[in-house]
Structure 1
Amino acid sequence: MAELTPPRIVLITGATGGVGGALARRLSADGWIVYAAHRKPADAGPLRDAGLTPVLLDVTDEESVVAAADVVGPRLDGLVNSAGIMGQGPVELVPAEAWRRQFEINVIGQAAVIRAFLPALRAAGGRIVNLGAVSARVAPPFFGPIAASKAALSALTQALRMELRHQGVKVSLVEPGAMDTAIFGTADKASADMGWAGSPETQHRYAGALDAVQAAAARQPLGPVAPAVNAVVRALTVRRPDTLYTTGRDGRALVLLRFLPDGLRDRLMLRAMGVTAEVFRTSTAATVG
C-alpha cells in the first residue's frame, strides 16, 4: 500500500488582513494545514470557524514570536510574511514615532519571525514568501514611509535568499500593486491619530499637495487580491519558484517607470498625483499671508 503524503503546513502572518486572509482560505481549501497568525485574541474564534488553526503572534514581540514557533512545531513547509502596515505622508511631516513603528513591523518584525521559524523550515526543506510592494522600487511622493520599509524588506529578502540557497530553503518576494483591502483606511486613521510633525506653518505648506494626492488616490481603481494570492501559491508550490513576482496592472506599470530618466519619471508621477508647483505656491502664499 502506498504511503500517504502528510498535508503540508504553512504559517501566515497577517492572516486577518486582506491578502493574508484570502491566502489562508485558499491554502486551507487546497489541503494545507494553515496556522493563521493573529495579534488580537478576539480574532481566534473567527479563524477557527474558517477551518484554520489560529496562533497568537505579534511580530513586534519576540517572546510572542518564539512562543508561536513552539506551537507550530519542528517542521514547516511554508512561511508567508503578510503582516504589515502602511505609513504615508511627506517625509518632513511624518513623526519619528511613525517611522519607527513602520520599520518595527515591516522589517524588524519580519526578521524576527524568519529567525524563529527557520529551524522548522530547514527541517522540511520549506519556503519563505515575503509580501513587499512595488513602491519599494519606484517610490511615489508622500508614500516615503511604506516605500522605504518595503525597500528594506526587499533587500532583506535578497540577502536571505542567497544565505539559504545551500540550506534547502527557497525564498521569494511578491510585490503587489494597490489592492482593495482595508490597509488604506487603516493608514489614514493612523496618520490622523498620530498627527504631523513640524510647525503649523510647515504643515500648511503641504495642505494643497496632500489634498491633491488624496483626490488622485480616490480616483485610482484598486485591484483584487487574487493575483497576489495566486503568486504566493505559486511561490509555495512550483518546483522552481521565481525570486520575484510583481502583480497588478498598476504594479507592473509602476515598475516600468524605473527605466525612465529620473527627472522625467518625477514629472510624470507628480502630474498623475496632481502635485504641481501651483499647489505649493498657493499653500505657501496662504501661509505667508
Structure 2
Amino acid sequence: MAELPLTTPRTVLVTGATGGVGSAVARALRTAGWTVYAAHRRPEDAEALRDAGFTPVRLELTDEDSVFAAAEQVGPRLDGLVNSAAIMGQGPVELTPAEAWRRQFEINVIGQATVIRAFLPALRASGGRVVNVGAVSARVPPPFFGPIAASKAALAALTHSLRAELRHQGVKVTLVEPGAMDTPIFATADKASADLGWAGSATTQEHYARALDAVRATAARQPLGPVTPAVDAVVRALTARRPATLATTGRDGRALALLRFLPDGLRDRLVLKAFGVTAEAFEDAPLTESPAARRR
C-alpha cells in the first residue's frame, strides 16, 4: 500500500464506501490520517461507519436533492472526491430490458455527474482532486457485458472532458480502470439480472442459452484479482504531485487494455475464444420470431 505522508489532515468524500473498492479506499485513507466522509444510502449503515472512524454522509446517487444536501453537510472545502459507487449490469444486448439499461446509466453516469456538480465548488476552493473509478471493459467490452461496459465508457468520456474543463481551475482529475476484482459486485449483478429477468420471448432467449452457459463457466474459473492495486492507484491519484490521468490496474486489466490496439476482427476472435463463445454455441438456434413476439 502506498504511504501517504500528511502534515495536516485532508478531507475526502468516497462514494460506495460501504463495500468493494470504495470501502477499501476509505480504510486506506482513514489509516493515513485523512478525514473520510463515507457516503452511504441506508440509514442503518451510518452507525457502523461512524464506529469505524468515518464521518457518514447520507447520499443517494439518483436523488439530486440528496446529493446537494450531502455537499452542504461536507462544507465549503474538500481535498478529494472518489467516485466508486456503481452497479454492474450484464447480459446480451438483445435480452437486457430497458429498465436495466436506465438504472445502469442513472447510477454509473448521471449519478456520478451529479456528485461532481455538487462537490466541485468545495474541490475548487482547496485545489482538490477527482478520482473516478471506471472499468477496463470500457475500452474492450467483452461479450454479454455490454451494459456495464457502455456505462463505464460513458463515465470515461465524462472524465476526460472534465479533466480538460478543470485543467486551468486547479482541480486534477484521474480515471482508474481496474480489471476484474474480488468484490461483491458480481454476486450483486447476478441477483439483479435474476430479479429483472430477460427481455424477449423464450424463443429469443434460446439463441443465447449455450453461449451464456459458456461465459458463466469461463467466469467461474477466472481468478479475481485483489482490490489493492486499484486502491493504490486511487491513493496515488489523490497524493502524487503530478497524478496520472489514467491508471489501468490488475494483470487482466492491463492485458485486456492492450487488445484495443488489434484489428477489430482479430480482437473479437480472441475475446470470444477467451470467454468460450464459439460458433457451435449458436448452431441449431430457433428461427427468429416476429418483432411483436420479441418484446416483453
* Coarse TM-score class (shorter-chain normalised): over 0.9
Distance 2:284 2:274 in 1: 19
Shift of 1:5: 5.1
Moved segments of 4+, more than 4 Å? none
Unaligned runs of 5+ residues in structure 2 are 1-5, 290-296
> What amino acid does structure 2 have at the position aligned with 1:12?
V
Q: What is the match of residue 82 of structure 1?
A: 84
Distance 1:5 1:268 in 2: 49
| 1:94-125 deviation line (CA, Å, top 9, x unaligned) | 00010000000000000000000000000000
Distance 1:231 1:282 in 2: 47
Q: What is the match of residue 15 of structure 1?
A: 17
Q: 2:275 aligns with which of 273, 276, 279?
A: 273
Query: Is contact 1:178–1:250 with CA below 8 Å preserved after alignment?
Result: yes
Please report the TM-score for the alignment, with normalisation by the length of structure 2: 0.94
Q: What is the match of residue 216 of structure 1?
A: 218
Q: What is the match of residue 226 of structure 1?
A: 228
CA RMSD after TM alignment:
1.2
Query: Is contact 1:91–1:144 with CA below 8 Å preserved after alignment?
Result: yes
Question: What aligned pairs does 1:99-248 form with structure 2 within 5 A after superposition?
Answer: 99-248=101-250
Q: 2:27 aligns with which of 19, 25, 28?
A: 25
| 1:206-249 deviation line (CA, Å, top 9, x unaligned) | 11111100001001110000000000000000100000000000
> What amino acid does structure 1 have at the position aligned with 2:228?
A
Unaligned runs of 5+ residues in structure 1 are none
Please report the TM-score for the alignment, with normalisation by the length of structure 1: 0.96
Query: Is contact 1:208–1:283 with CA below 8 Å preserved after alignment?
Result: no
Distance 2:31 2:227 in 1: 17
Query: Is contact 1:38–1:55 with CA below 8 Å preserved after alignment?
Result: yes
> What amino acid does structure 1 have at the position aligned with 2:188?
T
Query: Is contact 1:129–1:172 with CA below 8 Å preserved after alignment?
Result: yes
Q: In percent, how many aligned pairs have the same letter?
A: 79
Q: What is the match of residue 97 of structure 2?
A: 95
Question: Number of paired residues?
Answer: 283
| 1:7-63 deviation line (CA, Å, top 9, x unaligned) | 100000000121000110110000000000001111111111111111000111000
Instruction: Tell me if 1:45 matches 2:47.
Output: yes
Distance 1:257 1:214 in 2: 22
> What amino acid does structure 2 have at the position aligned with 1:150?
K
> What amino acid does structure 2 have at the position aligned with 1:214?
R
Distance 1:271 1:92 in 2: 21
Query: Is contact 1:235–1:242 with CA below 8 Å preserved after alignment?
Result: yes
| 1:105-162 deviation line (CA, Å, top 9, x unaligned) | 0000000000000000000000000000000000001000000000000000000000
Shift of 1:6: 3.6
Distance 1:282 1:174 in 2: 42
Shift of 1:204: 1.3
Query: Is contact 1:14–1:20 with CA below 8 Å preserved after alignment?
Result: yes
